[in-house]
Amino acid sequence: MSTTETFVATGPRLDLRGIPVAERPSRVFEELDRLPSGDGLTFVTDLEPRGLMSRIEQHHRHEIALDAHRAAEREWHITIRRIEPEADAPSPLGILRRASAFTRLDQATRARIAAAATMHTVRRGQAVAAENADWPYVGIVFDGVLALSSGNGSSRHRIFYEIFPYEIFGETEFFDGGTGIGRVIVISKVARFLRIPREALYAAASDAPQTIAALGRVAAQRIRGLMHALTSQATLPIIARIASVLLPYAMPEEGLTVAMTPLPHMTQAQIAAAAGTVKEVAARAIAELEEHAMLKRERGHIRYLDRQKLADLIREYS
């Protein structure tokens, strides 16, 4: 029987809380550079970790697998594991190795799932899956960014969450067999994803029950994220809500730094939809944030963000 690969760290645990934001990447790199292949490093942070994870990925491109989960309010645990990089272009098996929902599976199970999967390319504005329609797959983004939105039958859609590289979508429908809970759209210039038939995952789960546990964990994290977002929208003023939407795109260096894609190409209407408001209200909040040097726009789009200032603002109102 093949050995199950897990994200349980066998290496050090690094608590980044209390360390200045700009110093965090170098502390992680120091530990990660000493990490043997197959071992793990776990770090704990009090800030939404997307920017830091992106910087780690850039520093060790295709040589690591990342697993992040929200453990509590202002507490995320991120585990990094060194893996053998792929020599060629991304393959279904390689994508599964790096997606946290599947990296826990043994190699034979991943190979069985990969054999049934297909790779697809979509462009900005296109829908990958329609709301209230049958889409009998689970997807894994491996390039670009998707988002789940819902209009509840109206023309005005709200973005509930983004789906970044090596994250999955379609997990809710996998469990209940229902139609799409929202519309999955492309918000980056281009996105590429792996599409896995539900039936292939059901078959894999019969021999590897941890498949169900892995997908359930993703669903649970989505619920935590949505609960946090709904609570924030009910309790925070609009400027803090907009700051919360922007924070995941802010890189961890000091001062104004280039924002992560696809934010520099997102419209104010899309940002407003993610904050649960309308374009005109979001525009005023964005202008106020720019006055306080928390962001900088070029040609009407947000190009630069100051992570520390945005985080401090959110804390002030939380």
Q: Where are the domains of the chain?
A: 13-85, 117-227, 236-317
pLDDT tens for each residue of 235-262:
999 999 999 999 999 998 889 999 998 8
Which option is the CATH number for 117-227: 3.60.15.10, 2.60.120.10, 3.40.50.1000, 2.40.50.180? 2.60.120.10
Q: pLDDT grade, residue 137 (50/70/90)? A: very high
Chain centroid to Cα 56, Å, comes to: 14
Question: Is 157 a residue whose pLDDT tops 80?
Answer: no
DSSP alpha helix (H) spans, 135-255? 171-176, 198-207, 210-235, 238-246
What is the spatial distance between Cα 246 and Cα 93, in angstroms, rounded to a whole number?
Answer: 33
What is the spatial distance between Cα 43 and Cα 59, in angstroms, rounded to a whole number?
Answer: 16
CATH class of this structure's domain 13-85: alpha beta
Distances in whole angstroms, Cα of residue 305 to Cα of each of 36, 80, 253: 34, 26, 10
pLDDT tens for each residue of 69-81:
898 888 999 988 8
**What pLDDT sits at residue 39?**
72
Q: pLDDT grade, residue 89 (50/70/90)? A: low
**What pLDDT sits at residue 152?**
66
Q: CB under 8 Å to 112, separation ≥6 — which residues? A: 200, 203, 204
What is the spatial distance between Cα 196 and Cα 203, in angstroms, rounded to a whole number?
Answer: 12
pLDDT tens for each residue of 195-246:
999 999 999 988 888 889 889 999 999 999 889 888 888 899 999 999 999 9
Task: Lowest mean pLDDT of 2-6, 250-254, 304-308, name the range.
Answer: 2-6
**What pLDDT sits at residue 8?**
44
Contact between 270 and 43 (Cβ < 8 Å): no
Closest to 221 measured CA to CA, from 161, 158, 134, 271: 161
Does the domain spanning 236-317 belong to CATH 1.10.10.10? yes
What is the spatial distance between Cα 57 and Cα 72, in angstroms, rounded to a whole number?
Answer: 24
Query: pTM for the complete prediction?
Result: 0.84
What is the spatial distance between Cα 93 and Cα 111, in angstroms, rounded to a whole number?
Answer: 6
Chain centroid to Cα 114, Å, comes to: 22
